[in-house]
Amino acid sequence: MVPAAFTFPALGGFYANGGSPAAVAEAALARIAAWDDPALFLARVPEDDLLARAGALAAEGPRGRPLYGLPFVVKDNIDCAGLPTTAACPDYAYAPAADAPAVARLLAAGAVLLGKVNLDQFATGLNGTRSPHGTPRNPVMPDCIPGGSSSGSAAAVAAGIAAFSLGTDTAGSGRVPAMACNIVGLKPSLGLVPTIGVVPACRSLDCVSVFALTVADACAVLGVIAGAAEGDRYARPAPPAWRAAPAVQPAWRVAAPLAEQLVFDTADDAALYEAALARLGPVRRVDVAPFLEVARRLYDGAWVAERTAALRDFLAARPGSVHPVTRGILEAGFGKLTLDAWEDFHAAAEARRLARLLFEGVDALVLPTAPGVPSLADLAAEPVAANSRLGTYTNFANICDLAALAVPAGFRGDGRPFGVTMVGPAFSEARLAGLGAVMHAGAGLGLGTLGGAVPEAPEPPALAATELPLLAIGAHMAGLPLNPQILRHGGRFLREARTAPVYRLHDLGGRPGMVRVGEGGVAVAGEVWAVPAAAAGPFLAEIPPPLGFGRVEMADGSRPLGFLCEAAGAVGMPDISATGGWRAYLAAKEGA
């Protein structure tokens, strides 16, 4: 039987047991008919073509394709050959000659396209109501907005029609709809996924985003679509050690805004946010005023003019074809001054600098995805103000060159969903996903509107052939000050571990030194990390003497690389072996 929830493991199991992509395609068609929302799809793959594609996949078999037989939809500002691209503006429609690179990669990976879905016109809005085709129904709360601008992309996943979808995100359009529809929204780093074949909003800030029922599913899609494409002027390569799969770790350094910088629609929203933070352990409160300030510039400065520039000719020729609210926003761009734009760019540069400093000390900034989900009536009463409020915690991410992941976090007493977003530096998707998987699993929620259990956070993957195990016994461990260094070199946590009892541990003045001894040794607690073999040399070059890398004897008999100290460097330094490890030593000092 076709699974009720189109999660990747469920569909993978269905296929492994002899199920056919044709059966899944037929189930998707039945769900579209049962859902019966005329505002959801703007263009459908013809049923005969859809079934023919699924039948061909069934005849071929998986052939190692990672998205084999998974049905998906695409926001209608992304090109799909054979279907018109309209950006929810009928008079703007054109017939693309080719798939956008992201779509082409999904199809090559075995996914099955169902069609193109509704959006806030020209991806301008965060609420989902700015479309001449109507507002897609929110599967969780029909009287609430679905979120935008990727409204149809989120609704189709939450309703169980698609296993995943593509959206776009400039100001939060890949995150706000995820919260409104109780699903996961992944906003990649700028330039990681090609934006060729995407109708531009703010071309320098646009991202192709992913919606899915689980964090792991969203990451699997990102792993397929990431990578530069020829001719993409804003593409940039990911670091060699970048990966999409969730990277878990035993402790997290988490930051959250100061209490006075938080705004919520209701006390329930505030309580759900604080409950989500409480599940993470200690949280560092930080001043996010510079980020909130630069966020306000997104719709009141240079980036409005960038939106206008993208549609200048069409807006001049066909102003009546544009949604009234969207037209008002775009026309405002004509009056922006170049000298004001430079003020915006300088403010953005300062915000990026401050972000770099913040993420030297924390793994993620955890934010409310939005202050709350307004009803359709709330939005109609204040179409601009309510929309702006939705972007409170999202508008700055792309300006500051950050990655972000939105996950569900609970439901208010009135049934409206709430969510949180993990924000981190560019190319930190794996780390955010590791934290996001923990938070999603800990929220005790179902998948979209489909029920079912959110999977537990994944265990660290086994050591790859291109990686070396490295034992960290000091400040390079998760949550400690030098952990960003090991992360920068592509390190990922594998497990907690202890050495064989043949070492002594010393405090070298803020860092530990572990020395092998002939007798009187103790077992030292640490963490085994996987580090790309190619990064070992550059990493070692950054380690100051008397420390270096050497083979460490572990309690289980393994011998990973590890941080060892020259015996002469520990002479006269305090022996802290009795504590059993650096974390325990720091805790004892703090409690003294």
Catalytic residues: 75, 149, 173
SS3 content of the chain, % helix, strand, coil (to 5): 35, 20, 45
What is the CA 127 to chain-centroid distance, rounded? 20
27: helix, strand or coil: helix
- CA dist., res. 343 & res. 89, Å (int): 33
Question: Helical H runs in 188-237?
Answer: 215-225
DSSP strand pairing (561-565 vs 547-551): antiparallel
Site of tokens 């719709």: 299
Q: In what order do the strands lie in the sheet with 525-532?
A: 492-498, 525-532, 467-472, 561-565, 547-551
User: What tokens does 504 get?
Assistant: 């002594």
CB 148 within 8 A of CB 171: no
Quote the CA–CA distance of 510 and 508 in Å, as a whole number: 6
Label residue 316 exposed, middle or buried (CB < 10 Å: 0-12, 13-18, 19+).
exposed
Taken as a whole, the chain contains a residue count of: 592
Question: Cα–Cα distance between 574 and 138 in angstroms, integer?
Answer: 62
Which residues fall within 8 angstroms of residue 233, CB to CB, at 6 or more apart? none
Note whether 526 and 469 are within 8 A (CB): no
Instruction: Examine residue 194 and say whether the peptide bond preceding it is cis (omega within 30 degrees of 0).
Output: no
291 CB-near residues (< 8 Å, 6+ apart): 351, 354, 355, 396, 400
Which H or E run includes 396? helix 396-399
- For residues 258-290, one letter each, b for 16 or more C-beta atoms within 10 angstroms of the residue's C-beta and e for the rest, the string is eeebbbbbeebbbebbeebbeebeebeebebeb
Contact predicate 129/135, CB 8 Å? yes
Helices 47-60 + 21-35 axis angle, to 10: 150
Tokens of 407: 């996950």
DSSP of 239-289: PTT---S----S---EEEE-GGG---SSHHHHHHHHHHHHTT--EEEE--H
What's phi and psi for 451, nearest 5 deg?
70, -150
Nearest to 212 by CA among 393, 46, 405, 397: 405
**CA atoms of 513 and 530, how far apart (whole Å):** 21
- 3-class DSSP assignment, residue 151: helix
Max Cα-Cα span within the chain: 85
